Structure 1
């Protein structure tokens, strides 16, 4: 990772973007597309950054006080290569990519191919929920349109039909617990005006939180060209999503039931259980670890994927993620080994 240091950029307006300053009298504008830093005037200063970099963290130094500005990644785990474990082997041979992140110490405890771009399947829905709650309100009333129809064979659905009405809160429960693809599409059209419009918001917000190695084409993760993430970017996205109380609440739920209305005002019922096999009790986490919740994902292109929030016996939080494992049983065996690194 290249570290950029710039001296003598002076002005009086506020700093913009997320790596903003402690340094007095420094004003910088971060431009991803142009690869430049601009002061308060029109002059731009080129610097070594582009959106394809695996990790971004820069600092700014004021030439008078030499106070170092807060870097973008000051409170994040940063990793640029594989990371093993000192005390035990982790068998991750069937997974293409994996990572374990200590959220309190900002330490990367394990990393395999963490910056490889891969199809994320329904782990996409974490980004969908994050964007939906940034631009919408849980009490928003969604009216399902034709554009929200999912016709792909085998896709998980909650049975939404054109004209059905439900709240964003209800749709988010269907999205994150049942992994309903039609709920994802209905949310996207409601928030973004169209599937494409919502995908633009997803990409905009991904860049804003530093997930520069991801690109979203749809809100559900069904296979499409140019739809990809990395395990590291999923850590960034999930870490940001966990700041929302409603998302934390939903991912911890084992089941959900609610009533909504069809186009004629007649009641329809949702009732489903979590896809998370740890929460179901099908698989057990190591004794020193409590799985709080997360998101599953499976397609032929993405393989079997899983991201989790867990805590150790002291209540310290961790994010773990595995992408493109060979099958579900192997996925959970590998995830249990990864969680066992937590002491």
Structure 2
């Protein structure tokens, strides 16, 4: 009887082990990731500019983009970078020398448009007045004053400009001149210019200069009032900015807007520019800002969606056995939202940093932190390591079956030995009983 019971238990254990893949298949089917449903953005702004971008100043999120990584000529928006280098190299009260190369610059310049070509090399101008001439009036000569006084010559200053641009993340730009007058090798992108604008606005001296509607400066004992060429400054949320135009660059504009306490960077490149009174680039800027402030995020990946796999280490028998690695799905436990645009569509990703926890401990606490990232922005999101007891069993099926078989054999042998010993004891007892009866 005992022998039959042991054999039945062994057969049942073996059957359960062999059929466990069925339960694992059922688990996988019930946990398959649902597909991502993309929704298309509507009501994109209708603008003349060939390249444009808006970015949340605080989070770095790109909200709107149009051909934002294409090579474009920046014209006088170049002076944002020139002004930043001035602010980082000089103090407001420092005296700068007016230079020969500055005097050679065409309109618009302080020398030609205000001083009737009377400025001479060696004339002194304060750094603050040069900054105002650079950013408000957009004087071509002021940019050369800065270049010569900081680096000694324009070529050396261009090297400094390009080094600074790379530090700011403007990696697809090349600067040749400090004022942005056309050169085929002088270019940027809408994205790169947004990074330069961000740094310029973060600099107190440059920011407060761009925020001025008008300001006085002194040249050769003459007091001049400069007016800001950012024509919509103070309107529709326009806090600060820099204009630019050449025939090759078209109308260019870099701004920071603020509405309801939220600040956005806006870039418009190669818009229409008929003359200085043409408002097309300003209208383009208002249009992309109206769109961006109204924009709502869409679902990038949904709650429950698989976003990759994780390799988790463990031992088959919890505390002993060979160390193994199992690949398990990582699933979101929340919706991940983003601003739908070309850059975010191509560069968004969700990453799992990994864990030191074993597969066994993750059975009881599957929650984990993931990172959603796209260009210039990242945030933490929640997910889970989608592991089950069934997946561990399936991964170790041969080991577990072998172990069960081995244990069953051992148990059977022990039972047989015990049974044989018991039979031997009964035989001996019967033998002694018969012997005792014969003696009587």
Counterpart CA distance in 2 for 1:249 and 1:151 is: 26
Partner residue of 2:264?
318
Q: Which residue of 2 aligns with 1:295?
A: 242
Residue 338 of structure 1 aligns with which residue?
Answer: 288
Partner in structure 2 of residue 63 of structure 1 = none
* Pair member with larger Rg: 2
**Cα distance, 1:199 vs structure 2:** 0.9
Q: Specify the alignment match of 2:156 in structure 1.
A: 197
Contact conserved, 2:110 with 2:142, CA < 8 A, in 1?
yes
Q: Counting helix residues as a fraction of each chain, which structure ranks higher? A: 2
SS at match of 1:185: helix
The residue number in structure 2 matching 1:240 is 199
- Aligned 1:125-144 pairs, distance under 5 A: 125-144=79-98
Where structure 1 has 5 or more consecutive residues not aligned to the other structure, the ranges are 1-83, 262-266
Aligned-partner Cα distance in 1 for 2:46–2:120:
44
CA distance in 1, matches of 2:60, 2:226: 35
Counterpart check, 1:271 vs 2:225: yes
Q: Which residue of 2 aligns with 1:56?
A: none
Q: Is residue 91 from structure 1 mapped to residue 37 from structure 2 by the alignment?
A: no
**Structure 2 equivalent of residue 54 of structure 1:** none
Q: Aligned partners of 2:40, 2:255: CA distance in 1, in Å?
A: 19
Say whether 1:209 aligns with 2:168: yes
Write the deviation string for residues 109-162 of structure 1: whole angstroms up to 9, x where unpaired. Answer: 10011111111000000000111122222222111121222343xx21111432
Whether the 8 Å CA contact 1:150–1:181 is kept in 2: the answer is: no
For 1:216-255, list aligned pairs within 5 A. Answer: 216-255=175-214
> What is the CA distance between 1:321 and its match in structure 2?
0.5
Mark the CA change 1:111 to 1:259 in structure 2 (over 3 Å): closer, same or farther.
same
State whether residues 158 and 270 of structure 1, in contact with CA within 8 Å, keep that contact through their aligned partners in structure 2: no
Instruction: Please tell me whether the aligned partners of residues 215 and 227 of structure 2 are also in contact (alpha carbons under 8 angstroms).
Output: yes
Shift of 1:87: 5.3
Show the counterpart of 1:162. Answer: 121
Q: Does the CA contact (< 8 Å) of 2:252 and 2:270 recur in 1? A: yes
Whether the 8 Å CA contact 2:51–2:190 is kept in 1: the answer is yes
Taking structure 2 as the reference length, the TM-score comes to 0.53
Deviations 1:198-256 (A, max 9, x none): 11110111111111101110110011120001110001111111221111101110111
Match of 2:143 in 1: 184
TM-score under structure 1 length normalisation? 0.68
Deviations 1:245-294 (A, max 9, x none): 11110111011112233xxxxx1232221101102x7xx53xxxx11010
* RMSD after superposition: 1.7
Provide structure 2 residue ranges, at least 5 long, that are not aligned to the other structure.
1-38, 112-118, 295-440
Q: Does 1:260 align with 2:226?
A: no
Q: CA, structure 1 residues 88+131, in 2 after alignment: closer, same or farther (shift >3 Å)? A: same
Q: State whether residues 85 and 110 of structure 1, in contact with CA within 8 Å, keep that contact through their aligned partners in structure 2.
A: no
Counterpart among 250, 253, 273 of residue 306 in structure 1: 253
